[in-house]
Amino acid sequence: MSERMSLKQLANHLGLAEGTVSRALNGYPDISLRTRERVQNAAREFGYKANPLARRLATGVAEAVAYLMPHSQSAMSEPFVSQLLSGLGDSLSERGWDLLVAQSVAAEDEPEMLSRLISSGRVSGVVLSRPMKKDARIEVLRRAKFPFIVHGRSNDCADYAWYDVDSRAAFVKAVDHLVAMGHSRIAFIGSPTYFSFAQERLDGYRDAVQSNGLSFDQELVQITELSDDGGERAAGDLLDSADPPTAFVCVTDTQAIGALAAIRSRGMVPGQHVSVIGYDGLRLGRHTNPPLTTLAQPQSHSGRQLGDMLLAIIDGGDPKEFQELRSAELLRRKSDGPVWTANSDTMFMQREETT
């Protein structure tokens, strides 16, 4: 509502043409140092800033990037969104670009929404989270040759930019760890494998199980919804089965927390009678009962990374050159331990939290 000075007014005030003032401000070389400084001073004095809408229309550059909100199944909020947005914002604000968040009502019309978004000219690039193995959104972007970057990877990720954590390797790490502690019946609690990350983690689990000489038992794989309730249900079913597992690896901390509840509600102690390892490294895992052992993602501001990479691509960089794979670390808290045996109580020892 506060009135701003227009380019025209500034130009009149200086006795120059609008175009001249514009060029002076935008660093064109055909403006003498003298007038350039004169213009810049006046602009500063009056607090002149070019109207972004007008500039965007004239230049054809949207100066904005969209983040596609993942459709959270279950009403649970996605804890990472806020951090990611913050990092993205940091990156974009250095250029004075806008960050806008987009979402569609239903997941299935996301591609449609996306193609409208990119053809509307409102944004110069897009950030995607949590891709599926075969992701229609990525197809849309790819076909339109529109700049984008993915937080995660789909199956065919060779030709676009992404930032991901090697959760497959992480799950190998987790299973190896459990095997080393004597476990041989290790269950996997996951989410539908059209999510790329769920497949990755399942693959890691399977590989590690087999490379440790155990047989991959389909019975030990439970696919469920991505929530604490889902985890609790899945773990409960497994525990109640004829030949229950002695350890769980879960695709997210949220599910793992549910698994802890299932174990406790059956009168057992997680970390002692049954081990649980989650994935994400959520801070709240420090406060569960018992504190949750987890595969912790690098805490770094992935949003910042994604933003910087996307901008580089918008500037003409080759997407293929912006692919970054980080790795997760096993963060041992208290929900894992050696396999339980009759005389385990004497073997069970307290541990401090380690990295």
Which CB, 33 or 106, lies closer to DNA? Answer: 33
Q: Taking CB within 5 to 8 Å according to partner kind, which of its own copies, DNA, none is near residue 26?
A: DNA
Q: Which helix (H) or strand (E) holds 162?
A: strand 161-165
Residue 86 interacting with its own copies (CB under 8 A) = yes
CA distance 79 to 294: 16
- Cβ atoms of 178 and 186 within 8 Å: the answer is yes
- Give Cα separations from 209 to 82, 168, 193, 299 (angstroms): 35, 12, 18, 28
Residue 31 interacting with DNA (CB under 7 A) = yes
- Cβ atoms of 173 and 331 within 8 Å: the answer is no
Other Cβ atoms within 10 Å of 322 Cβ, number = 19
CA distance 292 to 281: 9
Which CB, 1 or 349, lies closer to its own copies? Answer: 1
- Give Cα separations from 182 to 115, 127, 175, 190, 293 (angstroms): 51, 42, 11, 23, 17
Q: Taking CB within 5 to 8 Å according to partner kind, which of DNA, its own copies, none is near residue 18?
A: DNA
Which CB, 1 or 158, lies closer to its own copies? Answer: 1
CB of 122 to its own copies, least distance (A): 6
Which CB, 15 or 213, lies closer to DNA? Answer: 15
Residue 118 interacting with DNA (CB under 7 A) = no
Q: Taking CB within 5 to 8 Å according to partner kind, which of DNA, its own copies, none is near residue 349?
A: none
Tell me the residue type at 37.
E
Can you tell me whether residue 36 is helix, strand or coil? helix
Q: Taking CB within 5 to 8 Å according to partner kind, which of its own copies, DNA, none is near residue 93?
A: its own copies
The angle subtended at Cα 253 by Cα 251 and Cα 254, nearest 5°, is 100
Q: Taking CB within 5 to 8 Å according to partner kind, which of DNA, its own copies, none is near residue 134?
A: none
Site residues (vs its own copies, CB under 8 A): 1-2, 4, 49, 51-54, 56-57, 62, 64, 69, 72, 75-83, 85-86, 89-90, 93, 98-103, 105, 115-116, 118-122, 144-146, 228, 257-258, 260-261, 283-284, 286-290, 299
Site residues (vs DNA, CB under 7 A): 4, 6-8, 15-20, 22-23, 25-26, 28, 30-36, 49-51, 54-55, 57-60
